[in-house]
Amino acid sequence: MTQTRPENPPRRITRQRSALEALLAELEDFRSAQDLHALLRDRGDGVGLATVYRTLQALVEEGQVDVLRGDDGEASYRSCSPVHHHHLVCRSCRRTVEVADPPLERWAQRIAAEHGFADVHHQLEVYGTCGACAP
């Protein structure tokens, strides 16, 4: 969704950053910063909590990671594809699928223009209970 950083100061490759990127790469659902911090510790690649937050923030700015705010306001992160998409998330196990809806993109632009809004962005998430979590 967000993609800044044109040619800013070069970003250094540190053990911590590599560890976090590797972890995110093998996870396919949204996880909180605290979760990621704990997972890294368990795995042996301990990384300071502050660093986890900083790095996630950077990854989000680079457009490599998407953020999602839960009802409780806690942020969750997921390594996502770079093209615009939305999410279908299981409210029980957090399993996430990337989905796209071209018509929606056009609709958002149109409805915003009709109301005199410019520089339009949007955010859509679909929540449900996945097959594996059904009762």
130 is in an annotated binding site: yes
By three-state DSSP, how is residue 20 classified? Answer: helix
Report the alpha-carbon distance of residue 90 to residue 132 in Å, rounded.
10
16, interface contact from a copy of itself, Zn ion, DNA, none, CB < 5-8 Å by kind: DNA
Q: Which is nearer to a copy of itself, 14 or 125 (CB)?
A: 125
> What is the Cα–Cα distance from 90 to 133, expressed in whole angstroms?
8
CB 75 within 8 A of CB 69: yes
State yes or no: 90 annotated in a binding site.
Answer: yes
Site residues, DNA (CB under 7 A):
9-17, 32-34, 46-51, 53-55, 57, 73-75
CA dihedral 75, 134, 132, 78 (to 10 degrees): -10
Is 80 annotated in a binding site? The answer is: no
Query: Residue 114 is encoded by which pair of tokens?
Result: 């009709």
In the list 79, 80, 89, 94, the residue contacting Zn ion (rule: CB under 5 A) is: 80
Residue 66 binds: one of DNA, Zn ion, a copy of itself, none (C-beta under 5 to 8 A by kind): Zn ion
Contact 56, 65 (CB under 8 A): yes
Residues that bind a copy of itself (CB under 8 A): 69, 71, 73-75, 88, 90, 97, 99, 101, 103-104, 107-108, 111-112, 115-131, 134
Q: Which residues contribute to the annotated binding site for Zn(2+)?
A: 90, 93, 130, 133
